[in-house]
């Protein structure tokens, strides 16, 4: 059953006017730090693609997101003759600490940086006038709505750290506008643990970072080339074993499959750490794949990164 999410009145989109709330917070803007091929307009509320080859097209919010705050973004202009969609995500990296040259051509390469980055893509077809809503709740679940209809949880993040949102314009998406934001009146305790039954509805995210050297806040998905995972607040515990080092343990153990590469991957949901990422990807592709240690089913694999 789909749920309806409000769309702001100043969207200038009469097709969805019956869903509009009465007020929006108007302090949210795009940050002055942006990709070289993006131009910001209208008091930093509009981002426009300025280069046909879509090279460096990242833009950030000017402040961190608030818990239970829904950010509304309108697709101002799209080109149906081109392929590609909107990328978006969250990061612990303050955009003020970056330079334009730090921003890559491909947003997904951001996951190789030392900060936490979660990169997603909007999978539903987008047209001019569409309204997207992005909200992170107290459990760290990032939810997406499209024209008032929820598309579900997209990724889990550690919301105990400040998180800036970013967008990448690609293909058909030529221009976007931040309309404003609203905060739910039903605020919940940020310390509430994530639900073990909450799983994202989209396979469209890449995540990495060093908020936790074992469990990075990532999405559960099916793309073989993605760094998929679960939230740091997840109730999954890390077993203590000679081939499953704890956070304070050694990182020098060899992969239990190839015996060549260093262990750098956690199995979800049992939590054992006994594989390299390459072997983990191969194992995950096998039907009814299970953990080499406890034989529990493998739901996902999580690549880990050194904290140093």
CA 115 to chain CA centroid, nearest Å: 13
Q: What is the CATH number of domain 236-308?
A: 3.30.40.10
Identify the pLDDT of residue 50.
85
Which tens digit of pLDDT belongs to each residue from 10-24?
A: 555 545 555 556 678
* Residue 204 main-chain phi, psi, to 5 deg: -110, 25
Question: In angstroms, rounded to a whole number, what is the distance separating the alpha carbons of residues 224 and 179?
Answer: 35
Strands of 265-268's sheet in order across: 273-275, 265-268, 300-303
Per-residue pLDDT of 231-279, as tens digits, reads: 333 333 333 333 333 333 344 578 888 888 989 998 887 788 889 999 9
Q: Which CATH class is domain 9-183?
A: mainly beta
Alpha carbon separation from 193 to 74, 160, 186, 198 (Å, rounded):
32, 12, 17, 11
For the chain, give the number of residues: 308
On whether the pTM is more than 0.85, the answer is no
282: left (phi over 0), alpha (psi -120 to 50) or beta: alpha
Percentage of residues in the chain with pLDDT exceeding 90? 31
Measured CA distances, 284 to 225, 235, 305 (Å): 11, 22, 20
Domain ranges, ordered by start, for the chain: 9-183, 236-308
Average pLDDT, the chain: 75
The helix/strand/coil state of 215 is coil
What is the reported pLDDT for 162?
95
Count of CB atoms within 10 A of residue 259's CB? Answer: 9
Q: What is the pLDDT of residue 2?
A: 43
Q: Which residue has the higher pLDDT, 203 or 96?
A: 96
Average pLDDT over residues 56-83: 91
Element (H, E) at 208: strand 205-208
| pLDDT for res 229 | 36
Name the range with the highest mean pLDDT among 8-12, 42-46, 182-186, 294-298: 42-46
């Amino acid at each position: 059953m789909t749920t309806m999410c409000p769309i702001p009145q100043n969207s200038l989109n009469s097709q969805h006017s019956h869903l509009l709330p009465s007020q929006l917070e108007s302090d949210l803007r795009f940050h002055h730090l942006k990709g070289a091929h993006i131009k910001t307009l209208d008091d930093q509320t509009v981002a426009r693609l300025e280069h046909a080859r879509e090279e460096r097209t990242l833009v950030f919010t000017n402040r961190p997101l608030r818990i239970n705050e829904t950010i509304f973004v309108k697709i101002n202009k799209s080109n149906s003759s081109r392929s590609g969609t909107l990328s978006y995500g969250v990061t612990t990296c303050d955009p003020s600490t970056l330079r334009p040259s730090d921003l890559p051509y491909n947003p997904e390469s951001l996951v190789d940086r030392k900060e936490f980055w979660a990169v997603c893509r909007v999978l539903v077809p987008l047209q001019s006038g569409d309204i997207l809503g992005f909200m992170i709740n107290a459990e760290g679940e990032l939810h997406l709505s499209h024209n008032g209809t929820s598309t579900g949880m997209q990724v889990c993040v550690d919301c105990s750290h400040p998180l800036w949102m970013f967008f990448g314009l690609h293909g058909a998406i030529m221009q976007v506008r931040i309309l404003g934001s609203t905060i739910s009146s039903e605020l919940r305790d940020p310390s509430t643990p994530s639900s073990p039954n909450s799983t994202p509805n989209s396979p469209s995210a890449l995540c990495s970072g060093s908020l936790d050297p074992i469990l990075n806040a990532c999405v559960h998905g099916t793309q073989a080339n993605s760094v998929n995972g679960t939230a740091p607040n997840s109730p999954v515990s890390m077993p203590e074993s000679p081939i499953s080092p704890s956070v304070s343990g050694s990182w020098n153990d060899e992969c239990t499959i190839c015996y060549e590469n260093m262990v750098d991957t956690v199995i979800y949901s049992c939590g054992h750490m006994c594989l390299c990422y390459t072997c983990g990807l191969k194992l995950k592709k096998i039907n009814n794949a299970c953990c080499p240690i406890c034989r529990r089913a493998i739901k996902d694999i999580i690549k880990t990164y050194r904290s140093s």
